[in-house]
C-alpha cells in the first residue's frame, strides 16, 4: 500500500464513494471499517479504505469532526449532483413560467426608455473587410452601462455627431487619431476637416461627368440626403455564433448577411429592397449601420447562456431554458441602439424619411423607434435564413438551429418569410 500524502485526503470531496452506496458516508466520521461486503475485498477497495483510515489518523486530532451532512452540503440544489431531473416537474414549471411570461409579454410593450441614454462616439476607424468592402467601426461610451457598444457603418454618408464635435484644446492630429476626419487618412495629412486628395479626385470626377449632388468632403457639408432610407440592423453580441462556429443559432449568419446587404451596390439589391421612386441608382453602396450591442445571450450573459444550452440539451427550448434559469425570455433593451442611431443622424430630427430595419422581430421595430419615436422605421426587411433560401445547400444546417428558429417563430413572434 502506498504511503499517501495528506493532500490525498478525501475529506473535502462532496462526491459519493465509487460504489455509490450511502454507507460510504459513515467511513468519514467513524473508525468502523468502511466496507462490510466481503465481495469487495479487492485491491482497489483495500487501497481506498486504507486511504481513508490513514488520513483520518493524520487529521483526526487536528481537525474537528466534520458534520455528517458534509457530503451533501445544504446549499446544493437537491437535483443537481448526480441526481436526476424529474421531467414531469420540469415541464410543469416551464409551462407555468411560460404562461406567466406570455401574460407579461402580451400586456407589456417592449422596454422603452422615456429618455434616451446619452451616448458618445469615442473613436472611429476604417476597417477594410475580407469581403472587399470597407466599413467604419464606431466605438461608443454611454451613461447607462460600462460596455463598449459599436456601430459598424457602411458607406460614406453616415457620420457621428458626437465624434465630429470639436473638443476643447484638441489638435488636428488628435482629431484624426480619434477618427474625426472626413475622407481618407493618408501619410502626411494635416487637416481633419479637409481631405485634399479626395477633393482633387472629386473635382476630376465632376469635370468628366455632369453628376450633381455629389456629397462634399468637408464635415460642414453634413450630408443627410440618402438616395433611399438607410438599412439598419440592430445586432446583439453572440460569442458562440459569431466567433466559436456555433450552429445553435444563426447570429453569425445574420451578421454576415446584414453586412452583405449594406455593401451591395444598389442595382444588385433584390427587388423588394429597391424603391419605385429610386430614380438614378448610384453605383456606390447604399450604406447602412449595424448597431452591435454588447448584450450576449439575449442579455443574460455568456455564462448563463451556456447553462441554457445545457438545459436545451435536456429537452427545453430556447425560451423555456431562459425561464428555468429565472431569466426573462429576452432581457435585451434597445434604448442604446436608438440613441446611437440618433447620434449617427438617422433619427427623425435629421432623417425624417426614416430607416429600413433588417429584422424578423416586429417587437424590435417599436423598441428601436423609441418611446417618443426618435427614429422612424419606414420598412421592415426580413432576413430569411440562408439554409431556407437555398434548400439547405448553404447556411447553417443543424437540428439545433431549426429548433431555435421554430421557437423564435412560435414563441417570440418572429416573422420569417
Ligand atoms: Zn447566437
Cell of 232: 439598419
Is this structure's pTM higher than 0.75?
Answer: no
Cell of 102: 406570455
In angstroms, what is the span from residue 30 Cα to ligand 1's centroid?
A: 52
Strands 377-381 and 149-154: unpaired
Under DSSP, the state recorded for 68 is G
In angstroms, what is the span from residue 132 Cα to ligand 1's centroid?
A: 25
* 391 vs 351: CA distance, rounded Å: 38
Contact 293, 332 (CB under 8 A): yes
- Residue 378 in 3-state DSSP? strand
**Which parts of 314-398 fold into alpha helices (H)?**
318-324, 335-343, 362-369, 386-389
pLDDT of residue 193: 94
In angstroms, what is the span from residue 92 Cα to ligand 1's centroid?
A: 27
Cell of 318: 430556447
How many residues belong to the chain?
417
Residue listed under C-alpha cell 457603418: 153
Task: Return the active site residues.
Answer: 330, 332
Contact 416, 382 (CB under 8 A): yes
Cell of 52: 481513508
Cα dist from 124 to 61, 140, 141, 261, 323, whole Å:
66, 9, 12, 22, 38
Contact 357, 382 (CB under 8 A): no
Cell of 27: 467511513
* 66 vs 242: CA distance, rounded Å: 48
In angstroms, what is the span from residue 234 Cα to ligand 1's centroid?
A: 13
pLDDT of residue 202: 78
- Residue 238 in 3-state DSSP? coil
Contact 189, 199 (CB under 8 A): no
**What are the residues facing 134 on neighbouring strands?**
128
Cell of 415: 416573422
pLDDT tens sequence for the chain (417 residues): 455 555 544 444 444 444 444 443 444 444 444 444 444 444 443 444 434 444 444 444 444 444 444 433 433 333 333 334 444 444 445 454 544 444 344 334 456 777 899 999 999 999 999 888 899 999 999 999 999 999 999 988 899 999 999 999 999 999 999 999 999 999 999 999 998 887 788 788 778 765 444 444 444 444 456 778 999 999 999 999 999 999 999 999 999 999 999 987 654 444 544 443 333 333 345 589 999 999 988 888 999 999 999 999 999 998 899 899 998 888 778 999 999 999 999 999 999 999 999 999 888 999 999 989 999 999 999 988 888 888 888 888 888 888 888 888 888 888 776
pLDDT of residue 410: 82
- Residue 350 in 3-state DSSP? coil
**What are the residues facing 9 on neighbouring strands?**
none
In angstroms, what is the span from residue 199 Cα to ligand 1's centroid?
A: 43
What values do phi and psi take at 236, rounded to 5? -100, 135
In angstroms, what is the span from residue 402 Cα to ligand 1's centroid?
A: 13
In angstroms, what is the span from residue 184 Cα to ligand 1's centroid?
A: 34
SS3 track for 147-198:
CCEEEEEECCCCCCHHHHCCCCCCCHHHHHHCCCCCCCCCCCCCCCCCCHHH
What are the residues whose beta carbon lies below 5 Å from ligand 1 (ion)?
238, 241, 249, 251
Q: Could you give all domains of the chain from N- to C-terminal order, each with its CATH number? A: 6-71 (no CATH), 123-163+226-295+332-412 (3.40.50.10990)
Q: CB burial class (10 A; 0-12, 13-18, 19+) of residue 188? A: exposed
Stated as kind and residue range, the H or E segment containing 108 is none
What values do phi and psi take at 248, rounded to 5? -80, -25
The helix-helix angle for 335-343 and 362-369 (nearest 10°) equals 60
In angstroms, what is the span from residue 252 Cα to ligand 1's centroid?
A: 7
What values do phi and psi take at 126, rounded to 5? -80, 130
In angstroms, what is the span from residue 105 Cα to ligand 1's centroid?
A: 22
Stated as kind and residue range, the H or E segment containing 314 is none
Stated as kind and residue range, the H or E segment containing 28 is helix 26-29
pLDDT of residue 131: 86
What values do phi and psi take at 350, rounded to 5? -110, -20
Under DSSP, the state recorded for 117 is P
In angstroms, what is the span from residue 404 Cα to ligand 1's centroid?
A: 10
Amino acid at each position: 500500500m502506498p504511503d499517501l500524502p495528506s493532500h490525498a485526503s478525501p475529506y473535502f470531496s462532496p462526491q459519493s464513494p465509487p460504489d455509490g452506496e450511502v454507507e460510504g458516508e459513515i467511513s468519514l466520521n467513524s473508525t468502523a471499517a468502511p466496507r462490510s461486503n466481503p465481495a469487495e475485498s479487492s485491491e482497489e477497495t483495500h487501497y481506498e479504505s486504507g486511504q481513508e483510515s490513514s488520513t483520518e489518523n493524520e487529521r483526526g486530532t487536528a481537525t474537528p469532526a466534520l458534520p455528517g451532512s458534509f457530503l451533501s452540503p445544504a446549499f446544493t440544489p437537491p437535483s443537481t449532483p448526480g441526481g436526476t431531473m424529474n421531467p414531469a416537474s420540469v415541464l410543469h414549471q416551464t409551462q407555468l413560467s411560460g404562461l406567466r411570461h406570455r401574460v407579461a409579454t402580451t400586456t407589456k410593450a417592449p422596454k422603452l426608455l422615456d429618455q434616451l441614454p446619452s451616448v458618445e462616439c469615442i473613436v472611429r476607424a476604417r476597417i477594410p473587410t475580407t469581403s472587399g468592402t470597407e466599413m467604419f467601426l464606431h466605438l461608443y461610451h454611454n451613461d447607462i452601462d460600462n460596455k463598449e457598444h459599436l456601430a459598424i457603418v457602411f458607406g460614406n454618408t453616415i457620420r457621428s455627431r458626437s465624434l465630429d464635435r470639436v473638443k476643447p484644446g484638441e489638435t488636428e492630429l488628435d482629431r484624426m487619431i480619434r477618427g474625426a476626419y472626413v475622407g481618407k487618412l493618408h501619410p502626411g495629412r494635416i487637416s481633419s476637416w479637409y481631405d485634399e486628395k479626395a477633393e482633387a479626385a472629386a473635382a476630376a470626377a465632376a469635370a468628366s461627368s455632369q453628376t450633381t449632388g455629389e456629397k462634399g468632403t468637408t464635415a460642414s457639408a453634413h450630408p443627410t440626403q440618402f438616395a433611399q432610407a438607410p438599412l439598419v440592423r440592430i445586432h446583439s453580441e453572440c460569442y458562440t455564433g459569431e466567433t466559436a462556429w456555433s450552429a445553435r443559432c444563426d447570429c453569425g449568419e445574420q451578421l454576415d448577411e446584414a453586412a452583405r446587404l449594406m455593401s451591395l451596390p444598389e442595382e444588385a439589391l433584390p427587388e423588394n429592397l429597391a424603391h419605385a421612386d429610386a430614380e438614378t441608382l448610384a453605383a456606390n453602396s447604399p450604406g447602412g449601420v449595424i448597431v452591435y450591442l454588447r448584450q450576449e445571450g439575449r442579455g443574460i450573459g455568456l455564462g448563463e447562456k451556456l447553462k441554457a444550452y445545457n438545459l436545451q440539451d435536456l429537452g427545453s427550448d430556447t425560451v423555456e431554458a431562459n425561464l428555468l434559469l429565472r431569466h426573462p425570455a429576452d432581457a435585451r433593451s434597445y434604448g442604446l441602439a436608438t440613441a446611437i442611431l440618433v447620434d449617427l443622424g438617422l433619427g427623425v430630427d435629421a432623417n425624417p424619411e426614416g430607416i429600413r430595419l433588417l429584422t424578423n422581430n416586429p417587437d424590435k421595430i417599436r423598441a428601436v423607434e423609441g418611446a417618443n419615436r426618435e427614429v422612424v422605421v419606414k420598412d421592415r426587411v426580413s432576413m430569411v435564413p440562408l439554409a431556407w433560401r437555398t434548400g439547405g445547400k448553404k447556411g447553417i444546417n443543424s437540428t439545433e438551429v431549426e429548433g431555435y428558429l421554430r421557437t423564435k417563430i412560435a414563441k417570440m413572434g418572429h416573422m420569417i418569410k
